[in-house]
Structure 1
Amino acid sequence: MSSPPTVSSPLRTSGVPAHTASDLPPVVERFCRYVQIDTQSAPTSATFPSTAKQMDLSRLLVDELCAMDLADAELDEHGYVFATVPSSLPAEDAARLPTVGLVAHVDTSPDAPGANVRPLLHPDYDGAAFALPGDPAVTLDPDRQPALRAHLGHT
């Protein structure tokens, strides 16, 4: 089981958990679970996927798609997940429209650790610098990472 994300706020930037995973919107809760699954790739591998552990997330995705009543959700031997989301339009309208495909990958870079990832959320980010809870010597600071300023008010 994955550990809950650390949720901090402008008043709570030390990384102390402020909420439980059940307080998060479902899409955020899912994302936080997904990023904790080690899907690190192996660039020298000749297999697809490049590591067997990538199948862990793919299997979970199929299970969750089936739980959402996407009856045709399936996983192939290469780790590709397929499912069809039925149209909410009347059948005659849906038949005239093309099917949309969504494509994504589950592997993560071998250049950073893939295990023991713990999401850190900052609801309504206030623009202040903050230290990572696992290593207070590592900080993210808008003065050194100006791109952070584009995320004021975001989670």
Structure 2
Amino acid sequence: MGPFAFNPDDASDFNRLKQDTLIWPKIRSHFQLDLNQSNSKIRAQRNWYLRHPKYLARVIHRATPYLYYISEEIKKRNMPMELALLPIVESAFDPFAYSHSRASGIWQFIPSTGKAYGLKQNWWYDGRRDVVASTEGAIKYLKYLHKF
């Protein structure tokens, strides 16, 4: 069985499944942004995800190991919970995602921005792919961007 397979005879798998189903209402209850639903760009993106439910299900499954941690870090800093979902758009929650511009990890840091926000990168380790380190860097970066 793969690392994300569900075994109904294993109590820890059952508890993990239970926790997974509880995270979404918690995230939704902490949304803060007032999005203009009539904005054509927002509608287009929303409709794309609605037309691709299998893709969204894969991304949600991929997000499962990380979402609780990320949402807790966002909540601790009283930031909009919608930001916890930004990796859906950036990387489909793939910690090994890599772009043509050399952006890497779930938050898609380019090398220079990663370094600016404390993400070590060397031959053996890339902090942009470290979910804990890159989440800390992403939160710092988002707070910086919010000042503008």
Task: Specify the TM-score bucket, using the shorter chain as the normaliser.
Answer: under 0.3
- Taking structure 1 as the reference length, the TM-score comes to 0.25
Q: Which has the higher helix share?
A: 2
- Taking structure 2 as the reference length, the TM-score comes to 0.26
Q: Which has the higher strand share?
A: 1
Higher radius of gyration, 1 or 2:
1
